[in-house]
């Protein structure tokens, strides 16, 4: 396994709509393993393939790791099939280092996708798990958390990101 480079805003791959995965092969399994290792090393609780430069519809996540109860998940071609309620909570993003802001999301979601064995997976999620799933699936659509904010808040964050880029 390897720790991959996490692409940072404004890298163009973060704005692309990711391609569907047609078949699971050794290369895809290795990518998923590397994505999990990269996520843990960052450290983070979710990561989408575009964040490591691969425009493919695959996400990894583990909301239990930070509580000492690791439960890694890999979802291929995930789709939100139902959502309910609304909640606002703080989010960060490995592709937007140092940025934490409140984001409105659905309180509960149902997500369908496939595991690395090609089996269909249906997940009912709420709370942090629902937030992570929505955040990572947004990445597959070329959306970032800043796209869910008001124009004023977007402007402030983009200004902060440009300043950070200039200081690198």
Domain ranges of the chain: 12-167
What percent of the chain lies above the pLDDT cut of 90? 85
pLDDT of residue 35: 98
Residues of the chain with pLDDT under 70: 168
22, 91, 126, 136: the active-site residue: 136
Q: In whole angstroms, give the CA distance from residue 148 to residue 152.
A: 12
Tell me what pLDDT residue 17 has: 98
State residue 168's pLDDT score: 67
May I ask the CATH architecture of the domain 12-167?
Answer: Alpha-Beta Complex (3.90)
Beta-bridge partner residues of 3: none
What is the predicted pLDDT for the residue at 31? 98
Q: Cα(53)–Cα(99) distance, rounded to whole angstroms?
A: 20
Question: For position 163, what pLDDT does the model report?
Answer: 83
pLDDT for res 134: 98
Report long-range pairs for 67-75 (Cβ below 8 Å, ≥24 apart).
Answer: 72/36, 74/32, 74/35, 74/36, 74/115, 74/116, 75/111, 75/113, 75/114, 75/115, 75/121, 75/123
Distances in Å between the alpha carbon of 1 and those of 4, 27, 60, 90, 157?
9, 12, 15, 31, 34
Q: Is 37 a residue of the active site? A: no
Global pTM reads 0.95
**What letter would DSSP give residue 3?**
P
Give tens-digit pLDDT for 87-135: 999 999 999 998 999 999 999 999 999 999 999 999 999 999 999 999 9
Q: What is the pLDDT of residue 113?
A: 98
Residue 164 has a pLDDT of: 78
55 and 49 Cβ atoms separated by less than 8 Å: yes
């Amino acid at each position: 396994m390897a720790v991959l480079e996490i692409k940072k805003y404004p890298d163009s791959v973060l704005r692309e709509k990711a391609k569907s995965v047609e078949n699971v092969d050794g290369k895809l399994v290795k990518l998923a393993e590397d994505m999990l290792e990269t996520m843990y090393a960052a450290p983070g609780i979710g990561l989408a393939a575009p964040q490591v430069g691969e425009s493919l519809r695959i996400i990894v996540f583990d909301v239990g790791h930070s509580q000492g109860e690791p439960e890694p998940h890999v979802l291929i071609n995930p789709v939100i099939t139902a959502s309910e309620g609304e909640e606002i909570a703080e989010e960060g993003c490995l592709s937007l280092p140092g940025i934490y802001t409140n984001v409105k999301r659905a309180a509960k979601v149902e997500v369908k996708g496939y595991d690395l064995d090609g089996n269909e997976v249906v997940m009912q999620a709420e709370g942090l798990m629902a937030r992570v799933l929505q955040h990572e699936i947004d990445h597959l659509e070329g959306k970032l958390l800043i796209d869910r904010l008001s124009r004023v808040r977007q402007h402030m964050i983009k200004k902060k990101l440009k300043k950070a880029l200039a200081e690198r």
